[in-house]
Amino acid sequence: MGWRILQNRMPYHSDPLDLAFHALSDPTRRAVISRLADGEVPVTVLAEPFDIALPSFSQHLRVLEECGLIASEKRGRSRWCRLITPRFEEATDWMITERRRWAGRLDRLEAYLDKTEGKGHEG
List residues near DNA by CB under 7 A.
6, 9, 11-13, 22, 25-26, 28, 42-45, 47, 51-56, 58-61, 63, 74, 76-79
Name the nearest CA neighbour of 22 among 31, 12, 32. 12
Give 25's Cβ-side CA count (13 Å radius): 8
Options 16, 22, 58, 68; binder of a second copy; rule CB under 8 A: 22
CB of residue 9 to a second copy, shortest distance in Å: 10
Decide if 26 contacts 62 (C-beta within 8 A).
no
| # residues near a second copy by CB under 8 A | 45
**Spatial distance between the Cα atoms of 32 and 82, rounded to a whole number of angstroms:** 10
- Answer yes or no whether residue 7 interacts with a second copy by CB under 8 A: yes
Q: Which of residues 53-82 bind a second copy (CB under 8 A)?
A: none
CB of residue 3 to a second copy, shortest distance in Å: 5
**Spatial distance between the Cα atoms of 68 and 85, rounded to a whole number of angstroms:** 9
